[in-house]
Every structure is written in structure tokens, then in C-alpha cells.
């Protein structure tokens, strides 16, 4: 039985995973993110304390009466808030990133593929959203509707798609003139099939990298909105913990420090993963 040749055994996904594994900081980021996700998913069953329940005197320092990270201004367990709040924070980040990527890729793909007046109209719409301050626009959207977790997530996704659209447009403009796309046109493939089945898979590496990075940006957006008092008061999140405890920072540093560290570590891990994906999916960087 003949063994497969190196060309036959070559797999782009396997090669990308091999390159990703060689990036030690990216692997460290992946392990850190997996640890954070494990704590948020398994933690509530292992530490079943209601994050909204008053368990001890307000603003008790870490370690007092067995409360590892202390209590906040309402006497709620900060450790319980971190464990339960991580789920909402990560959910906002991932969902807002998916919304942003969906809008950005759709607009960028149509603009880059069709060109002409379609490109002109869609890019003018993109520029309109791009010149608006993203945080200010998100604040307006949240204030116009009720400040629920769903509203916050949609608002973040709606204001953060412009860079993805421009990136998708650039990739489609580059790829649409390549030979395999012209071959797909010659066999009368539909525009929808060429866009989503032919061009998009080949344009996906930089889009995937940006999608990973925008997840961290969305988490910071949620924290910023909560810091300004626009968080959902009925759902515990790290941003809500920082927003509700910001005025007590000078007297009780632990109220905002621990959720701030959680956000920092999460965004850092996502950024490291994004850098690793960029190295693994970019052929120009594989021989560094």
C-alpha cells in the first residue's frame, strides 16, 4: 500500500493548528480563556451563592468571615458575582461579535463583489456609521430602548461592524478577479454561490482574526456602558459590578478591582488568540 505523498496529506486546517501550537503566547491565551469559560460554566454549581443576595456586611474586605474576595456596597459576595457574571459578559462579547461580523461581512461582500453603484452606496453607509462615535451611538441606542442585556448586545453589534465591512470588501475586491472565480462564472454559477461558497471561504482568514478581536472589544464596550450606568441591573455581569461599585473605589478597592482583573484577563486571552490566529492563517507569516 503506497503511503500518501506530502501534497496529498497536506491539510490547511492541520497546518494552521500546527502553526498556532508553535505560538506559545497564543496557546497560553487559549488555555486562559478555557479556564475562564470553565469557571463561568461550572462555577455556579460548585459555588451556588446568589450573586444578588446580601450575605454579609457591606464593603467587607477580602478574607473577612470567610468571604474570599470580600463583599460589595450592598453586602453581596464578590466571588459569586465574578463566577455568575462571567457568563453574561462572555455571552455579550460573543453574540455582539457575531452580529458585527454578520453585518460587516454581508455589506463588505456585496460591495466588493458587485462594485459600481452597489459599492458606492454601501461604502457611503459604512462611512456614515464609521464617523459616528461608537460608544456614543451605543449609548443612544440603549437609552432609546430599555437597557436590557439583549439591547446592549444588539447595540454593540450594530456600532462595531464598519471595520469588518471594509476588510471583507478589500478581500472580495482582491479575490473576485482570480482564475478560480472566473472559472465559477464560466460554468454559470449563481452570484450567491460564488459569494458565499467560492470567495468567502478564501477570504475568511483575516475575517476570523478580526472576529476574535472584536469579541474582546465587545466585552470592553459592555463594561463601558455599565460604568456609565447603562448596564442591565437585573443580570449580573462584570461590567455591572464595576459600574455599581465605581464610587466606592477609594474606600473599597476590591469592589471594582477583581471584576476589572477578570475583564483584563479575558480580553488579554482573546487578543493573544487573535494574534495566534493571524500568524496561523496568514501564509506570509508561516515562515517567520
Q: How far apart are CA 176 and CA 168, in angstroms?
A: 12
Q: Which residues contact 201 (CB under 8 A, 6 or more apart)?
A: none
Joined together, the cell numbers standing for residue 93 give: 462579547
Beta bridge partners of 54: 76
Q: How far apart are CA 256 and CA 277, in angstroms?
A: 32
pLDDT computed for residue 66 by the predictor: 77
Beta bridge partners of 44: none
The pLDDT tens digits of the residues spanning 17-69 come to 788 888 889 899 999 999 999 999 998 888 888 999 998 888 888 888 778 89
Give CA separation, 157 vs 27, 49, 50, 123, 150, in Å. 27, 32, 29, 18, 11
pLDDT computed for residue 258 by the predictor: 93
What integer best gives the mean pLDDT of the chain? 86
pLDDT computed for residue 11 by the predictor: 65
Which architecture does CATH list for 25-285? Answer: Orthogonal Bundle (1.10)
pLDDT computed for residue 147 by the predictor: 83
- 3-class secondary structure, 76: strand
- Could you tell me the pTM of the whole model? 0.86
Q: How far apart are CA 217 and CA 156, in angstroms?
A: 9
pLDDT computed for residue 284 by the predictor: 56
pLDDT computed for residue 2 by the predictor: 52
- Residues (pLDDT < 70) of the chain are 1-12, 282-288
pLDDT computed for residue 189 by the predictor: 81
pLDDT computed for residue 227 by the predictor: 83
Q: Which residues contact 96 (CB under 8 A, 6 or more apart)?
A: 153, 154, 156, 157, 160, 214, 215, 218, 221, 222
Measure the N-to-C terminal CA separation of the chain; round to a whole number of Å: 36
CA dihedral 104, 107, 113, 115 (to 10 degrees): -130
Amino acid at each position: 500500500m503506497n503511503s500518501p505523498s506530502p501534497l496529498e496529506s497536506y491539510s490547511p486546517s492541520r497546518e494552521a493548528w500546527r502553526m498556532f501550537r508553535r505560538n506559545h503566547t497564543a496557546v497560553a491565551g487559549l488555555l486562559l480563556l478555557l479556564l475562564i469559560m470553565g469557571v463561568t460554566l461550572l462555577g455556579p454549581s460548585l459555588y451556588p451563592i446568589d450573586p444578588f443576595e446580601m450575605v454579609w456586611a457591606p464593603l467587607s474586605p477580602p478574607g473577612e468571615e470567610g468571604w474570599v474576595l470580600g463583599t460589595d456596597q450592598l453586602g453581596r459576595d464578590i466571588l459569586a458575582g465574578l463566577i455568575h457574571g462571567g457568563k453574561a459578559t462572555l455571552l455579550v462579547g460573543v453574540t455582539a461579535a457575531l452580529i458585527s461580523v454578520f453585518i460587516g461581512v454581508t455589506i463588505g461582500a456585496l460591495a466588493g463583489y458587485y462594485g459600481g453603484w452597489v459599492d458606492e452606496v454601501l461604502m457611503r453607509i459604512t462611512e456614515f456609521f464609521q464617523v459616528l462615535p461608537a460608544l456614543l451611538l451605543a449609548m443612544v441606542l440603549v437609552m432609546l430602548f430599555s437597557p436590557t442585556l439583549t439591547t446592549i448586545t444588539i447595540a454593540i453589534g450594530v456600532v462595531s461592524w464598519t471595520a469588518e465591512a471594509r476588510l471583507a470588501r478589500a478581500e472580495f475586491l482582491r479575490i473576485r478577479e482570480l482564475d478560480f472565480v472566473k472559472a465559477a462564472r464560466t460554468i454559470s454559477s449563481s452570484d450567491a454561490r460564488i459569494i458565499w461558497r467560492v470567495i468567502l471561504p478564501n477570504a475568511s482568514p483575516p475575517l476570523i482574526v478580526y472576529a476574535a478581536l472584536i469579541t474582546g472589544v465587545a466585552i470592553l464596550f459592555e463594561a463601558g456602558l455599565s460604568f456609565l450606568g447603562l448596564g442591565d441591573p437585573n443580570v449580573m455581569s462584570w461590567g455591572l459590578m464595576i459600574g455599581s461599585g465605581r464610587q466606592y473605589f477609594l474606600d473599597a478597592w476590591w469592589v471594582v478591582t477583581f471584576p476589572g482583573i477578570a475583564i483584563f484577563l479575558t480580553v488579554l486571552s482573546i487578543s493573544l488568540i487573535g494574534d495566534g490566529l493571524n500568524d496561523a492563517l496568514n501564509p506570509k507569516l508561516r515562515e517567520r
